[in-house]
Amino acid sequence: MTAVDEVSALTQSIGEHAVAAIGAKHLSELSVVVNPFDCSARVVVALQENTEKEQRRALEKLFDVQDLFFDEVSMSFAFGSDIDLPTAHLAGARQYSFA
């Protein structure tokens, strides 16, 4: 497997685990951007019900996902849309989207 394939597989796996953990029915959108240069991942979540209670529940689930990938990548989380995030436009970054 090449480094690009490994990063793509990691991105896909993080996204799939995050969707499964939070629950697809609770999500409007979820995206993952992995930067292979600094081994960081940004997970952006748009919830169906964007309340504080739902955000806390989603974060608890995302922390479980973070634990799964602790040795491979550092993760950060945001709520909303990733359209204006600079990490979404990194050259060489791998992306996963659920909508």
**CA 38, CA 23: separation in Å to the nearest integer?**
29
How many C-beta atoms surround the C-beta of residue 10 within 10 A?
A: 20
Please state the pTM of the whole predicted model.
Answer: 0.82
**CA 73, CA 90: separation in Å to the nearest integer?**
16
Q: Write out residues in the chain with pLDDT < 70, as ranges.
A: 1-4, 81-94, 99
Q: What's the CATH code, domain 3-98? A: 3.30.300
Q: Which two tokens stand for residue 57?
A: 């529940």
Predicted pLDDT at 88: 47
